[in-house]
Amino acid sequence: MHSSSQSPAGNTANDPLVAELASNMAEVRRRIATAATHAGRQGDEVSLIAVSKTHPTAIVEAALKAGQRLFGENRVQEAAAKFPQLRERWPDLRLHLIGGLQSNKARDAVEVADAIDSLDRPKLAEALAHAMDKTGRRPDLLIQVNVGNEPQKAGVAAGDFAALYELSAGKLGLPVKGVMCIPPAEHDPVGYFRQLHQIARDFALPVISMGMSGDYEKAVAHGATHVRVGSAIFGSRPSHAIVEAGRR
């Protein structure tokens, strides 16, 4: 398991934005630890992915200064614009691509990410295998499961998971490490979390990415190893401080 944070460098009190993000992340980690304890787990079993999509590079940099090292982005182009320059200064950061991925963006994704959490179809598996062969990079992969069978959402149907797994991890030899889901927003997520946890157990996959700002505590209680939290850390839309940081 990769640590999602380390001690903030320097005095964050000198930068209000860094201090704000550090406080927000500490509260999320406290709640993760409490949920884990109630479930008979250890808090350090759960990695916090700070979802920085739509926020400018300056905000990610502030989170890095606050000690966060694990980030999630939806779009390859946005990730490529932010993270290579940040990685030069923080080589221990890790980036997960968590949004739906087009097959023609596979190489770009492989080049920028440490993990791609949205493998959901054979064509994408083949494109990722080709990209890994060409670049020599092998980011971890998670298979995204459409647990709610929602037609508007990405993800493989649960009934098709085995076939995609056998193609990806077996025939293509891809580094499939786990599973990811986004439950239907209007339903209690617990049943969907249990479903994803069972799939991971059935295939002996160690990584279970589930839970976002509104339900990550329930996800931790039902076996999440990674939670993806954006608004509880960065806010639902840029505050004045964030907007100003983005202009610098």
Residue ranges with strand state E in 107-154: 115-119, 140-145
At 118, list the tokens: 């949205």
Q: What is the pLDDT of residue 238?
A: 54
What values do phi and psi take at 48, rounded to 5?
-95, 115
Q: What is the pLDDT of residue 246?
A: 39
The CB-side HSE value for 62 (13 A sphere, CA atoms) comes to 29
Handedness of CA 188, 193, 196, 201 (dihedral sign): negative
Give me the domains of the chain, ranges plus CATH numbers: 12-247 (3.20.20.10)
Instruction: Give CA–CA dist 102/121, Å, rounded.
Output: 10
pLDDT averaged over consecutive 10-residue blocks of the chain (248 residues)? 46 81 98 98 97 95 98 97 97 97 98 98 98 98 97 96 98 98 96 98 98 97 98 74 40
**Number of helices followed by number of strands (H, E) in the chain:** 10, 8
Q: What is the pLDDT of residue 11?
A: 46
At 208, list the tokens: 């279970």
Phi-psi region of 169 (alpha: psi -120 to 50; beta: other; left: phi over 0): alpha
Instruction: Give CA–CA dist 71/225, Å, rounded.
Output: 15
Beta bridge pairs of residue 115? 96, 140
Instruction: Give CA–CA dist 114/93, Å, rounded.
Output: 9
Q: Are 144 and 120 in contact (CB under 8 A)?
A: yes
Q: Are 103 and 124 in contact (CB under 8 A)?
A: yes
Q: What is the pLDDT of residue 236?
A: 72
Measured between its terminal Cα atoms, the distance across the chain in Å is: 34
Q: Which residues of 217-243 are buried (b: 16+ CB within 10 A; e: fewer)?
A: bbbbbbbbbbbbbbebbbbeebeebbe
- Reference 192, options 167, 155, 141, 165; nearest CA is 155
